Structure 1
Amino acid sequence: MHSRIFQISTMQIEKGNYLNEDTLQQGDNSFYDYCADIDDETRKRDIAYLVNLTLPKGMFELISEDAMRYNGGIEQWKEEYVANLRKNAAAVTVDNMLEWSTTYNLQKAIENPLDVSYHFYLDGEGCQSFAEQSFAFMAFVCTLEPGTILYIGGVIDYHF
């Protein structure tokens, strides 16, 4: 399956520091079979899709093709996140704890609360060797003030 990795930072990202197909470990002992660069038009379309359709509605707005504004709303999202964790934890019982789907749903609710295959690379300098699932991005958002501008650097395709 294919998806995208988005590089996001609170500081503008120089083109030379953009995430690219060679930034992350790929192949054996890696989550990624391979990574690939995408063209500029696809990048713009993917960023618009992320901001307008994937992230929590109204929490962000695209202000340029490389930047989005955080509008607030993390407190409500945190309440929904905890409620979803409780619901999934309550579904685990002594009788079904060994069933794959039961524990998988709880794990997914913890690590990937946005329920997307997108990953997030939260390093504007391009030195980090990993990208993370949506919880890491939302934890990052918890540190932001409304009105904060987030800059989008490299966007790459990955296969898993």
Structure 2
Amino acid sequence: MRTLHAAALLRTGPDAEAVPGGAVLVEGARIAAIGPADELLSAYPGVRVRRWAGTLGPALVHDGPLPPAPTPRERVHALFRLGAAAVPAAHLTEPGLSAAVARNDVAVLDAAHSPALLVGGRADLAVFGDDGGCLATVVAGRLVHRRA
């Protein structure tokens, strides 16, 4: 199913300029299109739309040990609350953590890098509010965190 994630601002990379009214069309686990929300809505009538109040951009790469929590699953979900969808393999040394990461489709990287939104790329998105807090995280096209 296709989902259009539209936001007040869209940033395609950490250093990219924020563009008003942008959107990302997600199909499965991949980004199908990036552009102005109005144009994508016209091009894909009937698409499911999620509108976000903050700045939509690439999900973060968490370059450090996963946040502490009682279980590996909760540690992974703590990543999602930060807006992260990827972690370097070097930080997955504890028992059970690699399995929890794999079950939740977290991207495991050889080394940290700057994330970017690219057509055809993996649909790892995050929405951040004006306060810098994560409002939503999408991992491989799946909404895994939404702040109430």
Question: So what's the TM-score if we normalise by structure 2?
Answer: 0.28
Q: Which has the larger strand fraction? A: 2
**Larger RCO, structures 1/2 (Cα 8 Å, 6+ apart):** 1
Q: Which has the larger Rg?
A: 1
